[in-house]
Amino acid sequence: MQRRQFIKLASTTTAFTAVGGIGWLLQSCKKDKMDMSKSISVIEGSFDTAIAIPAIVSNPSLTAKSTTASIIKGKTSRVFGYQDNILGPTIKMMNGANANINFQNNLAEETNIHWHGLLVPANMDGHPENIVQAGSSFNFNYQINQRAGTYWYHPHPHGKTSHQVFMGLAGMFIVNDIEEAGLNLPANDYEIPLVIQDKRIYFDYSLNYSPTSDEVMTGYLGQYICVNGIYSPYHKVATRWYRVRVLNGSTARIYNLSLSNGASYTVIGADGGVLATAENVNNLLLAPGERADILIDFSSYTIGTEIFLQSNSFNGGTAQGNDNFKIMKFIVDRQETDSFIAPSSLSAIVPISVTQSSYNRNFDLKQADHGGHSGMNMAMQHTINGKSFDMSRIDFSVNAGATEIWTFDNSGSDEIHPMHIHGVQFQVLDRTGGRNTLIATEKGWKDTVLVMPQEKVRVIMTFPQNKGKFVLHCHNLEHEDSGMMLNYEII
């Protein structure tokens, strides 16, 4: 039996065939152990489950816990969540507001919360050193001091981040401000958050996080693509514009987002808020940790039209990018008229001039002992500049208020590294080698940038006044957990 047929059977009938299940499990194990060079193939479902939209809250109390969720229709899986379900609520607050978030750790292990993309004081940033032990709590208290954007939150305990995010600890953190409100972008029911994650799920519907040493190198890929914690969902839309905020909350999988009818859509924002000008694209790469703020115009479709958000194949070296797969289905189900006109000019973003930079740093992403796929006898360690993460070592310091140019150098490597810097938002200057160009989202403020094999990417940033210790790391969470992270200090 083909896996695809099997899962269709498993998800559409209540009777569950043990033979099929074990067969699939064995095949899956065999794939893990024997066929490491190939990516796990995605299993498309029937897109017959309504998408879940997380509750929107400001200043919630968050409790990390082990709980259950229905990821696959009609089935229950044990997951982690910041609520009685997988994932967490969408936190939405105004720039300038005070975040005061009580966090309780009811997991049986240590965790913490990192506010990805938010410029918060070092002791509020969820540095892997600031751990909340099992059964303990912590009050996160900081002022939001940055422009509107789609940020997110997730755990950051060293060596455990990937597992905890995979199990379901993640949520969006939307910051609003007056400038963005002036754009009158589609809101409320017409503003849809999409947290895209792939899960590896076994025949008994349990989530399985157990990367082999080769998967620590290539990234741990799941066969089930989930949106807001639901596998193979649909969402009903009206004939009008929608704003869709997309977060790639996967541990390693990159999506090349496109619409199944080939229609273009409009990229209006990236990690750190809206772009200077909107850009129409047919596809967009979104790496783990990155966000894309897009507008989709459904106004010209007839009622009943079905359009999939899908991922197209892309050139991702040996690790991934080979397959095309559908992520979710939009069903145009009602007529509505809106007078919205997508503005082409969105915001004034002043480029940071290279002449302002007082220091250049180079980060070599090449892995010294990579190449022979001999990872079976030794736990793979990932490095930056040949160094594996050491909690107590400060790798370098930067001056508050100073501007620097950092180069992420992935030439001579065949691994994919989405590089993320805590404590700051940066601008991407250029990419040389590989794709040799910048994509739409890279023309705005960023905190995570995809560095493909053979590429060198230069970013420029001015450090805020939040002094203290922050990390930079690869947001392929398998890489991060295996050491691809450094400490830097703002002094």
Task: Note whether 324 and 459 are within 8 A (CB).
Answer: no
Our finding on whether 114 is near ligand C2O (CB under 6 A) is yes
Q: Exactly one of 158, 422, 446, 469 binds ligand C2O (CB under 6 A); which one?
A: 422
Cβ atoms of 468 and 121 within 8 Å: the answer is: yes
Shortest spacing between CB 459 and ligand C2O, in angstroms:
16
Instruction: Kindly state the tokens that stand for 53.
Output: 């939209």
Q: Binds 473, which of ligand C2O, Cu ion, none (CB < 5 to 8 A, cut-off by type)?
A: ligand C2O
Cβ closer to ligand C2O: 116 or 245?
A: 116
Binding characters for ligand C2O, 446-475, by CB under 6 A (x = yes): -------------------------x-x-x
3-state secondary structure of 371: coil
| 412-422: burial string, b at 16+ Cβ within 10 Å, e else | ebbbbbbbbbb
Q: Does 474 bind Cu ion (CB under 5 A)?
A: yes
CB nearer ligand C2O, residue 65 or residue 420: 420
List the one residue out of 100, 92, 91, 105 whose CA is nearest residue 63: 105
Closest among 311, 297, 299 to 265, alpha carbons compared: 297
Map residue 364 onto helix, strand or coil: strand
Give residue 121's Cα distance to chain centre: 22
In the complex, least distance from residue 155 CB atom to ligand C2O, rounded to whole angstroms:
9
CB 462 within 8 A of CB 400: no
CB-based closest residue to ligand C2O: 116
d(CA 150, CA 143): 17
Contacts of 182 (CB under 8 A, 6+ apart): none
CB of 116 to Cu ion, least distance (A): 4
The residue with tokens 């968050």 is 62
Q: Which does 476 bind (CB under 5 to 8 A by kind): ligand C2O, Cu ion, none?
A: Cu ion
- Distance between CA atoms of 272 and 151, rounded to whole angstroms? 7
339: which residues sit within 8 A by CB, 6+ positions away? none
Beta carbon of residue 105, minimum distance to ligand C2O (angstroms, whole number):
18
Nearest of 474, 478, 454, 451 to residue 375 by alpha carbon: 478
Please pick, from the candidates 289, 316, 418, 423, the single residue that binds ligand C2O as defined by CB under 6 A. 289
CA angle 340, 342, 345 (to 5 degrees): 135
Residue 441, binding choice from Cu ion, ligand C2O, none, Cβ under 5 to 8 Å by partner class: none
Q: Which among ligand C2O, Cu ion, none contacts residue 127 (Cβ within 5 to 8 A by kind)?
A: none
Size of the site for ligand C2O (CB under 6 A): 10
For residue 329, state whether it binds ligand C2O (rule: CB under 6 A).
Answer: no
Token pair in block for residue 140: 């996160």
Phi, psi of 32 (to 5 degrees): -60, -45
User: Nearest distance from residue 217's CB to Cu ion, in Å?
Assistant: 9
Q: Which stretch binds Cu ion (CB under 5 A): 58-66, 293-301, 312-320, 412-420?
A: 412-420
Given the complex with ligand C2O, which of 157 and 321 has the nearer CB atom?
A: 157
Which option in ligand C2O, Cu ion, none does residue 469 bind, with CB closer than 5 to 8 A by kind?
none
DSSP for 249-300, written as a single string: --SS--EEEEETT---EEEEEETTEEEEEEEEES-EEE-TT-EEEEEEE-TT
Which one of ligand C2O, Cu ion, none interacts with residue 89, CB within 5 to 8 A by kind?
A: none
Which region, judged by CB under 5 A, interacts with Cu ion, from 97-105, 110-118, 344-352, 423-431? 110-118
Residue 417 makes contact with ligand C2O by CB under 6 A: no
Output phi, psi for 226, to 5 deg.
-115, 145
From Cu ion, ligand C2O, none, interface partner of 417 (C-beta below 5 to 8 A by class): Cu ion
CA atoms within 13 A on the CB side of 274: 25
For residue 106, report the phi and psi dihedrals to the nearest 5 degrees: -100, 15
Site string for ligand C2O, 153-192 (x = CB under 6 A): -x-x------------------------------------
Identified binder of Cu ion from the candidate list 230, 479, 487, 490, rule CB under 5 A: 479
Q: How far, in whole angstroms, is CA 388 from its chain's centroid?
A: 23
Q: Using CB under 6 A, which of 420, 443, 458, 469 touches ligand C2O? A: 420
CB of 138 to Cu ion, least distance (A): 17
Using CB under 5 A, which of the segments 2-10, 95-103, 255-263, 468-476 binds Cu ion? 468-476
Closest CB 114 distance from ligand C2O, rounded Å: 5
> Residue 235 touches which of ligand C2O, Cu ion, none (CB < 5 to 8 A by kind)?
none
Contacts of 32 (CB under 8 A, 6+ apart): 210, 212, 215
Residues of this chain that bind ligand C2O (CB under 6 A): 114, 116, 154, 156, 289, 420, 422, 471, 473, 475
Residues of this chain that bind Cu ion (CB under 5 A): 116, 417, 422, 474, 476, 479
